[in-house]
Structure 1
């Protein structure tokens, strides 16, 4: 509670807000780049999958990503940070129009997306630990919370379908090995 009180207190006090440091700028810039490139991946996935549950998960990711992109962009513009350039978006297409050997399978799409989500969660955690400005930390924590909220049911869906990639189990020497 003291930490939360201190964080919100630093937002309310009269101290001048220092400029962003290079680490804060880099983290925000990288996160924005990953989110905007991720929107292209979501669009490709929506053009590819016909699975209703996966489609719903992708649509939710796309929608949440748009909200986080807006939050980060608005902040960066306000702070005078140049925005990253992003590749052109993808047009709508039908899954049946994509040849089988070219399009991703639903399992490949799910693992590609959850991998991007995991990378963003790690980036947010690392970036928060380097923040000196509370406002930047709160943006990153908010984004991280959205990613965690989104990833929980996603992993459940993947586990249910046998799509989740699990590393080998570790048993210490002399321990159980089944």
Structure 2
């Protein structure tokens, strides 16, 4: 029998796993708060629904990460306070985020979430932790494709410079 090859849930977390799970939970809580604010700014129904789905996923991630931390004697970060509800028409035009801006911020957050999940998977020695973040990674990848498709369909994509004409090759 090797070192740490019993039931993964009975194995101790190493300090890197503790830190990464704790920070991931903190970031997810921040995303929940920010995305609830974005929902008040969004005019597009499809984008609002997608943001709601991302909030639901983030709440699941918080629950599962905080459960691991608590099970291992680590106090998770507190949840942020609920935001008061506001109607889109009540937000002054000069401070309101546009749907295009929100979609771009959400896409960037998903991209960072993918990188974070990959790093945690790579640093984990507990199989259950690696598998959990592999699940999150797959979910975020699917969310990213959905948001990208939406951004393209709605004409919100601002592409980087495209190579339309390639330089002639010298013989």
Establish whether residue 72 from structure 1 lines up as the match of residue 65 from structure 2: yes
Establish whether residue 95 from structure 1 lines up as the match of residue 94 from structure 2: no
Where do residues 104-115 of structure 1 align in structure 2 (5 Å cutoff)? Answer: 104-115=97-108
Establish whether residue 47 from structure 1 lines up as the match of residue 48 from structure 2: no
TM-score (norm 2): 0.85
How far apart in 1 are the matches of 2:7 and 2:131?
Answer: 18
Which of 135, 142, 145 is the aligned partner of 1:152? 145
Is the 1:11–1:135 contact (alpha carbons within 8 Å) kept by the matching residues of 2?
no
1:4 alignment partner in structure 2: none
How far apart in 1 are the matches of 2:94 and 2:67?
Answer: 40
| Count of aligned positions | 166
1:162 alignment partner in structure 2: 155
How far apart in 1 are the matches of 2:4 and 2:151?
Answer: 40
Give unmatched runs, 5+ long, in structure 2: none
> CA RMSD for the aligned pairs?
2.6
Establish whether residue 33 from structure 1 lines up as the match of residue 26 from structure 2: yes
Give unmatched runs, 5+ long, in structure 1: 1-9
2:76 alignment partner in structure 1: 83
TM-score (norm 1): 0.82
Relative to structure 1, is the Cα distance of residues 45 and 175 closer, same or farther in structure 2, using a 3 angstrom cutoff? farther
Name the SS of the counterpart of 2:94 in structure 1. Answer: coil
Task: Give the deviation of 1:105 after TM superposition.
Answer: 0.5
